[in-house]
Structure 1
Amino acid sequence: MTTAAGPGELDPKNHIASIIKATTVLEAFKGDRTELSLAELMKKCGYSRTTMYRILSTLEVAGWVERTRSADYRLTLRVFELGSAVLGSFDLRTEASHVMSELAARFDEHVYLLVPDGARAVCLDLIESSQPIRVMVLTVGRSLPLYLGGAPIALLAELEETALPQVLGAGPMLTPSGEEITEAQLRSRLTEIRKRGYSISVGDVTPGVAALGACIHDRKGHAVAALSVGGLSADMSDTRQTEMAQALMDGARTVSRRLGFVG
């Protein structure tokens, strides 16, 4: 006797296992690394060499992955094109674009829009500054751990109950310099962010670079994204930081209202 699949479970009679495996391989490219070797993909996905090679060969023929000069694998622009089609109808990105443009024009700094994704935050959109010194770390589609950077940690401060367990379960929390962040230190910082209303990140992603972050809320009051303004720490005087923080929070509230938030 067979039983029906429960909520969230896959009925073996109604799905194709090879497609599930292929999507698992595609999702393995999420994170900071854009190129992965066969061995790295095997470790991430848990598949044998033969299975992994067959999946990658099929994805390569279909145009979803390609080989690099070093014989590693990377996603093709087809994935970006598909993602862009989704983003084209995404209200959040549309509603935030006007505020982002205003912030970029006013301060001439990098402006980011990030959304939470498990233990990380993904860059949904950005506007670069006109300054000749390039300090940008994130690009559209790339991500940071929720405990690093202006927008990610602003999100974590409001999503602590649900997201912090995922962050803690993802392994040691390390800065780019290798310094470990303890749970106590992180929780203390999250409390400060909630009291202040915005986050401050100074050098915890890139030395010499500072960023501020403020959350955007949907009509139910949930933090669904965060805006961030970032630039060189040397240019971030107390007066300028205060001015940027107020403009950033005002901008986040404006986008939130456009999404239906009335709080």
Structure 2
Amino acid sequence: MQAVSAEAGTNQSVERAAAVLRAFTGPGALRVTEVAKLAGLRQSTASRLLSTLEQAGFVERDADGQYRLGADLITLAGAALNGHPVHHAARQRAQSLAASTGLGANVAVRRGDHAFYLCNFEGHLAPRSFALTGRRNPLHATALGKSLLLGVEGRRDLLGELERYTPRTITDHDVLTAAIEQVAWQGYSTETEELSLGRSCLAAPLRDRTGRVVAALSLSGPSSVVDLPGREHELSRLVVETADAINSQLGHHGPTDRQIPAPPRHDLRSRS
């Protein structure tokens, strides 16, 4: 019984330390009281864990006594990314795509009901003040998410109520299903100001050797630069061709989906 209790105590300590680290997913440094609130811990527990994590190099404290994530986590994050097969296959091609188009090139995998960014390269026409790598975005409001939802069963249960982020966000499951069916037919997905105003995106699914969708590649940037009404054909061709090259490196060389009739061309947001 003592061994079991000790193991349970150790697991709880790890869970609490993980909760403390996850409190730093937003921008800026945090005080102990803020960390405790975000992690759901008592202030004394949060303070003790922060002190231990600081000694390990996982958090750093500034002159004002505020904490931020430590540089040693970059080493772990780099090792995790370099060991990920999708990151290994897609990184160089995504970087080249960003350089050639001037747009942002992104690679994401699905983690539950969110898209998790593995790669983010900024083109000179689509600068950002922050890196997307490691961030999560909702599946239903992004082009990446619509590609990642291909072949996912039980989408309604997975996503639940679809949150509205802008007036253009799809909030109706039937409309979302129609959008995903269009992805299966045309080979790529689009999104215009569904997550944030002024930004648009195209994405294509990435598949492993079995044909299963394991990630997605996108081009994104200001709506005025992406210009989907005028450039959809050009940019979708680039995204799909780059995705095909990445798929080959992931071991996928054959056809992806069975041929299905083209869906009617109508505004998929009209019912959202």
Q: Same fold by TM-score, threshold 0.5 exceeded? A: yes
Gap change, CA 1:42 and 1:190, over 3 Å in 2: farther
**1:215 maps to amino acid:** P
User: What is aligned with 1:49?
Assistant: 43
User: What is aligned with 1:246?
Assistant: 237
Answering whether residue 100 of structure 2 is matched by residue 109 of structure 1, we say no
User: What is aligned with 1:59?
Assistant: 53
RMSD of aligned Cα (Å): 3.2
Give the unaligned 5+ runs of structure 1: 3-10
**2:133 maps to amino acid:** V
Q: CA shift at 1:214, angstroms? A: 0.9
Q: CA shift at 1:36, angstroms? A: 5.2
Q: Is the 8 A contact 1:112 1:123 kept in 2?
A: yes
**2:159 maps to amino acid:** V
Q: Distance in 2 between matches of 1:158 and 1:114?
A: 14
Equivalent residues in 2 for 1:194-233, closer than 5 Å: 194-233=184-223
Q: CA shift at 1:211, angstroms? A: 0.7
Answering whether residue 160 of structure 2 is matched by residue 165 of structure 1, we say no
Aligned residues: 249
Answering whether residue 96 of structure 2 is matched by residue 119 of structure 1, we say no
| Residue 148 of structure 1, aligned match among 125, 138, 141 | 141
* 1:59-97 deviations in Å (ceiling 9; x for gaps): 123221234677654322221221112222333222213
Answering whether residue 246 of structure 2 is matched by residue 255 of structure 1, we say yes
User: What is aligned with 1:6?
Assistant: none
Answering whether residue 77 of structure 2 is matched by residue 83 of structure 1, we say yes
User: What is aligned with 1:23?
Assistant: 18
Gap change, CA 1:161 and 1:39, over 3 Å in 2: farther
Gap change, CA 1:237 and 1:199, over 3 Å in 2: closer
Give the unaligned 5+ runs of structure 2: 255-272
Q: CA shift at 1:28, angstroms? A: 4.3
